[in-house]
């Protein structure tokens, strides 16, 4: 399964990048393909391309603020969660996507 994700927090510093790292580690542990775009103090980094989005089985947005360019994900299978959910249990978040993908 391929997942693309966006992480963002109100200050755009620590939690944005901590969540991205947690997702990357969890995806690796579960054998999932993942690309994470961060929307932090430095702007958009590791930006998701139209191709990344089109090839994804899921779009995961982990953010407590509105993200930039949300319209890119219209029509995608999307899950939006508070950033804290990923920080507390990234593996659980990704396992939930796996379960829901089967439905």
Q: Which domain CATH number covers 14?
A: 3.40.50.2300
Q: For residue range 45-86, list pLDDT tens digits in order.
A: 999 999 999 999 999 999 999 999 999 999 999 999 999 999
Catalytic residue among 3, 5, 8, 9: 9
pLDDT reading at 101 higher than 90: no
Instruction: Give the three-class secondary structure for 42.
Output: coil
Q: Which domain holds residue 82?
A: 2-101
Domain count, the chain: 1
State pLDDT tens for residues 2-30.
999 999 998 888 999 999 999 999 999 99
Active site residue 9: yes
**pTM for this entry:** 0.95
Q: Which H/E stretch holds residue 4?
A: strand 2-8
CB atoms within 10 A of CB 62: 28
């Amino acid at each position: 399964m391929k997942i693309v994700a966006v992480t963002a927090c109100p200050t755009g510093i620590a939690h944005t990048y901590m969540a991205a790292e947690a997702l990357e580690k969890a995806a690796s542990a579960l054998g999932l393909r993942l690309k994470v775009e961060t929307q932090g103090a430095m702007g958009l980094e590791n930006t998701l391309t139209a191709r990344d989005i089109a090839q994804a089985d899921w779009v995961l947005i982990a953010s407590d603020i509105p993200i930039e360019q949300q319209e890119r994900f219209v029509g995608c299978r999307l899950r939006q969660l508070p950033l804290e959910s990923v920080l507390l249990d990234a593996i659980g978040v990704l396992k939930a996507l796996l379960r829901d993908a089967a439905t």
